Amino acid sequence: MRIDLSGKTALVTGSTQGIGSAIAAALADAGAQVAVNGRRPEAVDTAIEGLRSAEPARDLIPAPGDVTTEEGAAAVSAALPHVDVLVNNLGIFGSAPALEISDDEWRRYFETNVLSAVRLTRSVLPGMMERRWGRVLNIASDSAIVIPAEMIHYGTSKTALLAVSRGFAKEAAGTGVTVNSVIAGPTHTGGVEDFVYELVDSALPWEEAQREFMLKFRPQSLLQRLIEPEEIANMVAYLSSPLASATTGAAVRVDGGYVDSILP
């Protein structure tokens, strides 16, 4: 199976680190020109430098901007002549007692995790439909289905993202453009390491801390380990390619068997 994105331009939001960086690398390695996004231009430049140092042939361009705002999203879209593959990866998460989450915090999660994706999809989808080809991918989470008691605001925002994906897929019906969400399971990133240490003994070595976290807080995982970002990126690269032309309106799981369901 050869994934070929030559001649395609991809935009990956929140791609200066973690899952987003791994997705940017995978799409670039498949031949796409990839726009790397983050709020700060210097962070974007540093990320591109790191990605190129690993593979100099990667075609990467900077696309800085805060896509959680209308102005930032418009600036990012305007900087690119067109987008063939949009990966709405940007997201925030964190633990908080359910009864202590303020209205402002709920709004912040929806602005970042939902509305940023809506804004950019609304911006690029018409051009994709006119060209009769395009891919929109929203990075969701197992928390969209199995709402964690310690972060219901995060889980609820990701549930909304599944509905957003399905709705925009209907808007693009019959055009050759696909819209899907990727349900990522517990994944090993720097942010997740910090989150793990919020919930388990911070004095534990990382491997022990990870094991305790999975046993206590994610016991449903069939992998029984955190997923590596590259494993999420592999699925995104496939869904971004012509090979996935018949998959749309779907919520595709890369969750390590975390969600206890025989359906996707």
Q: What is the pLDDT of residue 1?
A: 86
Q: Give the span between the Cα atoms of 251 and 244, in whole angstroms.
A: 13
Distances (CA, A) of 243 to 94, 118, 195, 235, 240: 35, 25, 36, 12, 8
Based on the fold, state whether residues 161 and 61 are members of the same structural domain: yes
Based on the fold, state whether residues 22 and 42 are members of the same structural domain: yes
Question: Is pLDDT at 195 greater than 90 in this prediction?
Answer: no
Q: Give the span between the Cα atoms of 56 and 54, in whole angstroms.
A: 7
Based on the fold, state whether residues 218 and 168 are members of the same structural domain: no
Q: Residue 208's pLDDT band (boundaries 50, 70, 90)?
A: very high
Q: What is the pLDDT of residue 264?
A: 76
Based on the fold, state whether residues 202 and 249 are members of the same structural domain: no
Which pTM was predicted? 0.95
Q: Which domain holds residue 201?
A: 189-226
Q: Is residue 197 flagged as an active site residue? A: no
Question: Is pLDDT at 135 greater than 80 in this prediction?
Answer: yes
Based on the fold, state whether residues 39 and 161 are members of the same structural domain: yes
Based on the fold, state whether residues 170 and 222 are members of the same structural domain: no
Question: Is pLDDT at 191 greater than 90 in this prediction?
Answer: no
Based on the fold, state whether residues 152 and 194 are members of the same structural domain: no
Mean pLDDT of the region 221-226: 94
Q: Give the span between the Cα atoms of 31 and 234, in whole angstroms.
A: 14
Based on the fold, state whether residues 148 and 214 are members of the same structural domain: no
Based on the fold, state whether residues 152 and 210 are members of the same structural domain: no
**CATH number for position 146:** 3.40.50.720
Contacts of 253 (CB under 8 A, 6+ apart): 142, 183, 185, 259, 264
Q: Considering only CA atoms, which of 220, 226, 217 is closest in space to residue 148?
A: 217
**Contact present, 120 and 86 (Cβ < 8 Å):** yes
Domain count, the chain: 2
Ranking 192-196, 227-231, 251-255 by mean pLDDT, the lowest is 192-196
Based on the fold, state whether residues 105 and 201 are members of the same structural domain: no
Q: Would residue 168 be called left, alpha or beta, if left means φ above 0 and alpha means ψ between -120 and 50 degrees?
A: alpha
Residue among 154, 197, 238, 258 flagged as catalytic: 154
Q: What is the pLDDT of residue 43?
A: 98
